[in-house]
Amino acid sequence: MLPDYVVLNKKQGQRVVLWALVAAYTIALPNAIFVYNTIVKHFSTAIASKVPLIINILFGITYIVFSFLSKKRIKFLWFIIPCVIIVYIVISFEPNPNKHIHIPEYILFSWILFEALSIDYRGKGIYILLFICASMLGIVDELQQGIYPERFYGLNDMIINSTSVVIGVLTLMGLRSAPGGDWTWISHFTRFKESLGIILFGGIGATFLCVYLFDVKEVKVFWVVYPFWLIVWNCLFLVLGPAAIFYNIRRLHKQGDDLNDKKVLDQHGSEITAHLWILSIITILFVIHALVVFVGLSGWEFN
């Protein structure tokens, strides 16, 4: 059996790698179009359009095989049926076969994000946080696509992204065990009223900016339709967001000398989970607001 300090150092390494992977995956998502263009260039559009279907089938087969190997066949059946139904609905909802690549993209994204969250999560509700964070990162993906040439910011894609996250959550529920515990971490939110207020402020602003960006997309000129009061809102959140992140990180570390200390995690697990909710949501909201401010100040065309 490995000494505690070896296990804890290994855990710290996993934490860094997994969150770095989440960030890298988020940045890489809009670049999937380059793979599609390469397939079109060397083969044909018809073949490229079949790639998402092939990947979805391979994902399904892999999941089925893994579930049988892990001897979770009965549990698996409860979750594979709604997954198949959701995939069918998504394919029916979006006739463009190229958009179906979002399904495996966000299933995989859900798996990676689950591994990152579960390192420090203690208690119930991880799948709710997973859905919220992955769906918000789907918005980040669309914002990046609006900035990239020949890519487009779209509502349908956001819907498909979030729906695919549901599939990812269901597959995880079929094969993985959620962190143990209860809902006591919610009680700690009463001590984080300022941070929750900032999240509400950022969330409302993010809703407004998502709506106004559709107008920006139509006219191609940011300052013609994007209201000045909203850009002030965005900039204000860019100040409040990092302040809240810094404040919560300081409070988090006051629980002990090191988050890798097993005693700290055991004694303050529910409070750490509350911090995890706040920090992850504020960080993603910060990225959303930052991308819009970047578009406004850079003068780049938003598609």
139 assigned to some structural domain: yes
Residue 19: in which H helix or E strand, if any? helix 4-28
263 assigned to some structural domain: yes
Residue located via tokens 């390192």: 119
Both tokens of 40, joined, read 């079109």
48 assigned to some structural domain: yes
Scanning 100-153, the segments in alpha helix (DSSP H) are 102-118, 126-147
What distance in Å separates the CA atoms of residue 22 and residue 102, rounded to the nearest whole number?
16
* Per-residue model confidence (pLDDT) at position 253: 65
146 assigned to some structural domain: yes
Highest mean pLDDT among 89-93, 94-98, 137-141, 254-258 belongs to: 137-141
What distance in Å separates the CA atoms of residue 114 and residue 127, rounded to the nearest whole number?
8
pLDDT at 111 over 70: yes
pLDDT at 134 over 90: yes
Instruction: Please give the tally of structural domains in the chain.
Output: 1
Q: What is the pLDDT of residues 190-215, one digit of tens each?
A: 888 899 999 999 999 999 999 999 99
119 assigned to some structural domain: yes
193 assigned to some structural domain: yes
11 assigned to some structural domain: yes
Domain that holds residue 246: 4-298
The pTM for the full model equals 0.89
303 assigned to some structural domain: no
13 confidence band (pLDDT: 50, 70, 90): confident
* Per-residue model confidence (pLDDT) at position 71: 67
